[in-house]
Amino acid sequence: MRVGLLGTGRIGLFHASTLAHHPAVTELLLADADPARAQDAAARLTGGAARTGAAEVTALATVEAVLAARPDAVVVATATDAHADLIVRTSRAGLPTYCEKPIAADLAGTIRALREVDRNGTALQMGFQRRFDAGYTAARAAYRSGELGFVHTLRTVTADPAPPPAGYLPTSGGLYRDCLVHDFDAVRWVTGREILQVYATGSNRGEPFFSDAGDVDTAAALLTLDDGTLVSCTGTRYNGAGYDVRMEVSGSLGQITAGLDGRTPLTSAEPAGPAAPEQPWPDFLSRFHDAYLAELDVFLDVARGRRPSPCTGHDALEALLAAEACELSRALGSPVAVDSVRSAAALRALPAQEAAR
Ligand SMILES: NC(=O)c1ccc[n+]([C@@H]2O[C@H](COP(=O)([O-])OP(=O)(O)OC[C@H]3O[C@@H](n4cnc5c(N)ncnc54)[C@H](O)[C@@H]3O)[C@@H](O)[C@H]2O)c1
């Protein structure tokens, strides 16, 4: 297969390496808004004796050049603000597309891009990699097998060891849209239920650049699912113990935890408790290494028409709606129904004439 990859930053470089080493990929075409970055990525993947990839890797000067080369599939790993436009362009070109979350930082942009994808009937897979993590997959299977009895509570944690640079924040969408959105997607995926209502709050006890950007460095949200299940979600940019991503699923007959292993950055206060990890997970690229590989492996099957997208644009929209509801709840200091955000967003996404009717 010939695959185009747009955006060769942190996650883009990782995905480029995955694709370059995938047996189904014969040619990988890279582009970045900063052409030097794409060239550097191509050099790293093909450089001299270090060449290990199966694919020919070429850096092209522009995104347009990659799309004009008519690849079989496109992976979008650019900064968030370019996603929606690129999804529209690849969809109009009929190209199966994998895109890092989110589709857009706002709901109107998300809905407009989704309409284009729906109109053209093109395949779109969104990058919620927890759906490919072994622990989350096992938690989902346990939930669905009935072995947990009736599940009444989920508890999710998404904790980064250290904050991103200040410059990342203004375009990140904030802690709910950037980080907890993964938990919202995982909650929907594990349970198969929808998020009805959220009640969210946040705090900023770290660097003031969070509040300067209208963001928080630590957040908590209480979700109510459509079957009454309660979910508590917490997230922070300041977890000095390490990178901690977990989901506890508790039912009347048992409970199971995704993300609890010998590297989970937890220290027991009990004298006979488990030892603290010697090598706690340091970051998302190591913690979700296998999941990132698996999601692109599946995407190449999606692109070849062998299976439907395992994480559609509409899944991404649902997770973003929950994040938007959290931002609103934090501002209002009261619970927010996700449907109220959905209705307002649908209206805003309509072209002016249509909305006026
Ligand atoms: N699923 C995950 O776990 C995960 C993890 C990290 C990042 N992400 C997402 O991946 C995306 C990229 O994040 P990152 O951390 O790699 O960022 P980054 O800043 O390291 O890289 C982004 C790259 O995109 C390039 N770029 C920006 N606009 C472009 C355009 N219009 N055309 C081509 N290239 C363009 C930039 O020059 C840069 O090289 C973000 O949307 C982020 O939300 C997802």
Residue 351 pLDDT: 55
pLDDT class of 343 with cuts at 50, 70, 90: confident
Q: How large is the average pLDDT for residues 235-254?
A: 98
- Can you tell me whether residue 151 is helix, strand or coil? strand
Measured in Å, residue 141 CA sits from the centre of ligand 1 at 32
Q: How large is the average pLDDT for residues 337-355?
A: 72
CB atoms within 10 A of CB 301: 15
Residues flanking ligand 1, CB < 6 Å: 6-12, 32-34, 37, 63, 77-80, 82, 100-101, 127, 129, 284
pLDDT class of 327 with cuts at 50, 70, 90: very high
Q: What would the pLDDT profile of 121-179 be if each residue is shown by its tens digit? A: 999 999 999 999 999 999 999 999 999 999 999 999 999 999 999 998 888 889 999 99
- Rounded Cα distance between 61 and 39, Å, is 9
Residue 357 pLDDT: 40
Which amino acid, one-letter code, is at 100?
E
Q: Give phi and psi for 350, each to the nearest 5.
A: -75, 145
Structure tokens at 182: 């993964």
Q: How large is the average pLDDT for residues 299-315?
A: 98
Report helix angle 107-120 to 338-349, nearest 10. Answer: 70
Residue 103 pLDDT: 95
- Can you tell me whether residue 223 is helix, strand or coil? strand
Ligand 1, atom nearest to 12 Cα: 16
Reported CATH class of domain 2-129+293-311: alpha beta
Residue 312 pLDDT: 97
DSSP 178: I
Q: Chain-wide mean pLDDT for the chain?
A: 94
pLDDT class of 349 with cuts at 50, 70, 90: low
Ligand 1, atom nearest to 86 Cα: 31
Query: Which residues make Cβ contacts (< 8 Å) with residue 43, sequence separation at least 6?
Result: none
Domain extent listing, the chain: 2-129+293-311, 132-288+323-329
Burial degree of 277 (CB within 10 A; 0-12, 13-18, 19+): middle
Mutate to test the pocket of ligand 1, among 10, 131, 169 (most ligand atoms within 8 A of CB): 10
Strand order from edge to edge, sheet including 255-258: 255-258, 244-251, 151-159, 230-236, 218-225, 195-203, 336-337
Structure tokens at 31: 């582009």
Residue with the two structure tokens 């900064």: 79
Strands 2-6 and 73-76: parallel
pTM (predicted TM-score): 0.94
- Closest protein CA for atom 30 of ligand 1: 33
CATH number of 132-288+323-329: 3.30.360.10
Angle at 223 (CA atoms; ends 317, 325), nearest 5 degrees: 45
Residue 33 pLDDT: 98
pLDDT class of 16 with cuts at 50, 70, 90: very high
pLDDT class of 53 with cuts at 50, 70, 90: low
Q: What would the pLDDT profile of 76-96 be if each residue is shown by its tens digit? A: 999 999 999 999 999 999 999
- Closest protein CA for atom 31 of ligand 1: 82
Q: How far is CA 281 from CA 133, 179, 275, 334, in A?
A: 15, 17, 15, 35
Q: What would the pLDDT profile of 205-244 be if each residue is shown by its tens digit? A: 999 999 999 999 999 999 999 999 999 999 999 999 999 9
Ligand 1, atom nearest to 31 Cα: 33
Residue 344 pLDDT: 78
Which amino acid, one-letter code, is at 205?
R
Residue 54 pLDDT: 75
Question: In the chain, helix, strand, coil percent, each to 5?
Answer: 45, 20, 35
Measured in Å, residue 338 CA sits from the centre of ligand 1 at 28
- Rounded Cα distance between 351 and 353, Å, is 6
Q: How far is CA 280 from CA 157, 261, 274, 286, 327, in A?
A: 15, 10, 14, 10, 31
